[in-house]
Structure formats: C-alpha cells, structure tokens
Structure 1
Amino acid sequence: MNREIEALDFSFVLASSVHDMKNSLGMLLNTLADVMDKYPPQDDIHAKSYAVLEYEAARINSELIQLLSLYRLDHDRVRAYIEECQVLDLLSEQIARNHALLLTRSIDLELDCDESLSGYFDSDLVGGVVNNILVNCARYSKAKLKISAAQTSEGLCISIEDDGPGYPEHMLNASTFSNVKANFAGGRPHLGLLFANKVALMHKNKNQQGFIRLHNESSLGGGCFKLYLP
C-alpha cells in the first residue's frame, strides 16, 4: 500500500472517529442540560461550575463539528444549497441553541435584525458559522454580546460583536483566512475562521463572492466578526 492510500485511509478513519466523538459529546450535552433542569444551581459557585462544564463541552463539540465540516469541504462532500431564508429566524435559532450557555455565563445578548430581512444562502452552513462564532465570543466577552444583520452595498452582513479584549493583531492583519495556518501547538487553531471563510466562499452571485472580516471597532468595545453574503 503506497503512502497516498495510507494517507487517505487515515484521514477517513480520523473523520469517522471525529463523527463518533461528536455524537457522544452531543449526548453528553443533552444529559448535562437535563441535569441542570432537574438540579438547578443553588448558589453562584454552583452556577459557575455548570457554566464551565457546559461551555467547555459546547466548545469541544463545536471544534469537532468544524473539523468534520472542513474534512467534508476539502473532499467535496458538502454542497451549498442556496435558497431564500429569513435572517431573523436563523439568528433566533442559534441564540436559542445557546440560551443555557449565555444564561449561566450571565451574558446579555442584543439582537438587531429586521423581521422582514431575507437573503439567499445555505441556512445549515451559515447557521453553523453563527453558532461557532457565538460560542467562541461567549468565552471572551465580559457581559455583553450583540448580533445584528442588515443589507449593505457589499451584500447581506451578519455581525457578531462582544465586549471582550478584541481579536489579536495577527488575525486582524491576515489578508485572507484561507491561508491561515492552524496553530495546534499554541492552542489557537482558528478552525472557526477557516470554516467561516470556506462557507463564505461557497456563496456566489454573478461576480460577487462571500467573505468574512474582523475588526476591533465593536460598538461594545471588543471584537467584531462580520460575514458578508452576496
């Protein structure tokens, strides 16, 4: 068996293992939610312990989903199914998905989106991007998050802002996130940004293509992630 076949076999086994771990972690998160409902926190220390457990489990689950999604994208196993979607519905769904996480971390979230706003995109892929960034922002924000969406001259823009320390300089200076190297040794693989960039690039309309943008000029004083869809 040559090296190429070995590499293909290993990548398939790795992807299958990630899929199994993701499913197991999903069951763990559901069980944790049931435990939290049945045995609510009795004090701040108890609530903080729940918050740490839920956040770390959600973060690992998100990382596994991103790894699996990146594998499928690189092997052309994912196609974007573009259709008209209500933006408010998509954002509300991701907020509800992380309601317990935001509640236990005492994070106040503001949603600014016109109920009539719609766009043409893959709701599952874009929903995954929003969820990934939302979970990540919950880690670094102090007490506030803001999600907004609006139609701009560059396309539909979905923004996620926080009141944390902002994005590091090396991420702001990256001209494109498609070439950002994963830094596993340093604990900062940036999988969420790699995934978000790939999803953005899958959305095209005539001569326009989706893209992402980061800056530290958030209205909340921290970092701001923007996803543009044509």
Structure 2
Amino acid sequence: MNTENGSQIDLKTVLALNIHEIKNLMALLMLKLDAIKSENREVGDARLLCHRVNDCMEQMLLLFNLQTERLTPSIEAHSPADFIEEFVQNAVVLAGDKIAIEMNVDAAPEYWFFDRDLIEMAMLNAVHNALRYANKRIIISAALQNGELALTVQDDGAGFPQAILDDPVGSLVSQRYEEMGLGLFFADIIAKAHVNKDRQGKLLLHNTGQNQGGVFTLQLP
C-alpha cells in the first residue's frame, strides 16, 4: 500500500471506529449478563470485568477525541436526582450482594447543566474503584454546594493513599496506582470540560477520617 497516497486510510479513525464497535459489543454482553439472575459469584465478577473493559474502551475514545480536539461536551439540563437514581440502580447490579449501595439526593438541585455521558463515565469509574476498596457500603450522592453541583462517590474503605491525595492526576505515573490514576486523569479532564462563565469544573478527593473511606467528588459550575 502506498502510505503517501492522499486517499490513504486514516488509521486513527479506523482505530476509533473499531474501539467504538468493541464498546458496543461489550455493552450487549453486559446486558445479557445483567439479565442473568444468579447468585454465582463468578457471574458477578464477569459482569464487573465487562464493565471495566467497557470503561477502557470509552477512555480510549476520549483520548482519541482529545488528540483530535473533538472533545466538546454536550451540555444539557438534567435532573441530578434522576441521574443519581438511575446510576445507583446500575451500581447495585455491579455490587451484587457484596457491597450495599446507598443514595443521597436530599440536597440536590432541581436541575443542572452537564454532559450526562461524560459525567456517567467518570462516576462509573469512581464506583469501580470504590467497589475494589469498600468494606460494606458505598454512598452515591448529589448536592448543591457553594452554588455548584457536587456529585460524590464515598466508600468505607481505608481511603485514598496520600500520594493520590497530594497529586491525583500525577499518580498516573506511579505503577502502584496506575489503574486508579488513569481513571482520575479522565475524571479531571471531564470535570474541567464543564465551564460556566469564569468557573471551571474540578475533581476533588479527600478521606473522611481514619478507616472511614475515600470521597470522590466532581464539582460542576
């Protein structure tokens, strides 16, 4: 093949299309696994692995969009309470009988403007991390804080390592925290893609205290 031909295939686009197709196939597989009513732990583990593979595909597409400057959030009005309720239902399926998933939307605003798909991607990755480290429960919440929407995933594990609290995005370079760091890297990008006038979204991490777990928050203007 003459790679200098002006009509050559754009390999980046081909890769992106294939990633998108794999993601769609994984979504179909997840639907089939979700439909299986089984107490078998292996089925639950397979379901979680499928969701994690799908996350990786979505992250690769996000990277492609960043490289090609195509990352433009589709900002629309959504009900944070409805978003969290639907999100919690999906998280319950992932958690199975291992971890209790709780919801708190008492302080959520009636509506907010954000890209639902991007925010769901970041939140789902946070839930996957929480499922790895939680002891008994995870709390997923939405609340109005200081005039901004705070979407939070809190677990009751040992909390974030100090290295990640010190530099959430920089933790990606550490092999020890590579998987968690990659998810936080994308969450940071997604949060910052949400801009309202002179305010920009941000990723916030903290621990609630000794052995009280980590708190992941997307704060959107």
- Of all paired residues, the percent bearing the same amino acid is 29
Partner of 1:98: helix, strand, or coil?
helix
The residue number in structure 2 matching 1:140 is 133
187 and 147 in structure 1: CA distance in 2 versus 1, 3 angstrom threshold: same
Q: Distance in 1 between matches of 2:116 and 2:181?
A: 22
Q: Deviations over 1:102-153 (max 9, x none)?
A: 2x24211121113653222122221222222122212221210001221112
Q: Within 5 Å, give how 1:50-199 maps onto structure 2.
A: 50-102=43-95, 104-114=96-106, 116-153=109-146, 155-174=148-167, 177=169, 181=172, 187-188=178-179, 190-199=181-190
In 1, are the aligned partners of 2:158 and 2:213 still within 8 Å (CA)?
Answer: yes
Q: Where does structure 2 lack aligned partners over 5 or more consecutive residues?
A: none
DSSP-derived class of the 2:179 partner: coil
Contact 1:19 1:68 in 2 (8 A): yes
Please tell me whether the aligned partners of residues 137 and 155 of structure 2 are also in contact (alpha carbons under 8 angstroms). yes
The alpha carbon displacement at 1:218 in A equals 6.2
CA distance 1:99–1:224, shift in 2 (3 Å): same
TM-score of the superposition, structure 2-length normalised?
0.84
Check whether the contact 2:104–2:140 (CA below 8 A) recurs between aligned residues: yes
* Aligned residues of 1:110 and 1:145 also touching (Cα < 8 A): yes
**What is the aligned residue count?**
215
- Find the aligned partners of 2:114 and 2:129 in 1 and give their Cα distance: 23
Which whole-Å CA distance do the structure 2 matches of 1:185 and 1:207 have between them? 36
Listed one character per residue, the Cα deviations across residues 133-183 of structure 1 (whole Å, up to 9, x for unaligned) are 122212221210001221112621111100122222221111x63x55455
SS of match in other structure, 2:138: strand
Q: Which segment drifts farther, 149-158 or 179-188?
A: 179-188
Q: Aligned equivalents of 2:55 and 2:97: distance in 1?
A: 18
**CA offsets 1:59-86 (integer angstroms, 9 cap, x no match):** 1111221221222133222311223221
Pair 1:205-2:208 in alignment:
no
The CA RMSD measured in Å over matched residues stands at 2.8
* Unaligned ranges ≥5, structure 1: 42-46
CA distance in 2, matches of 1:11, 1:217: 43
Tell me, in whole angstroms, the C-alpha distance in 2 between the residues paired with 1:172 and 1:208: 22
**Contact kept in structure 2, 1:149 and 1:157, CA below 8 Å:** yes
Correspondence 1:16 to 2:9? no
Q: Counterpart of 1:208 in structure 2: which amino acid?
A: R
Contact 1:67 1:191 in 2 (8 A): no
| Partner Cα separation in structure 1 for residue 142 and residue 84 of structure 2 | 9
Indicate how the Cα distance of structure 1 residues 186 and 156 shifts in structure 2: closer, same or farther if over 3 A, else same. Answer: closer
2:197 maps to amino acid: K
Contact 1:161/1:224 (<8 A) preserved: yes
Letter of the 1:26 partner, please give it. Answer: A
What secondary structure, in the 3-state scheme, does the structure 1 residue paired with 2:160 have?
A: coil
Partner SS for 2:158:
coil
Residue identity in the other structure for 1:201:
K
Q: Counterpart of 1:167 in structure 2: which amino acid?
A: F
- Measured in 2, the distance between the counterparts of 1:229 and 1:75 equals 25
Partner of 2:63, secondary structure, is helix
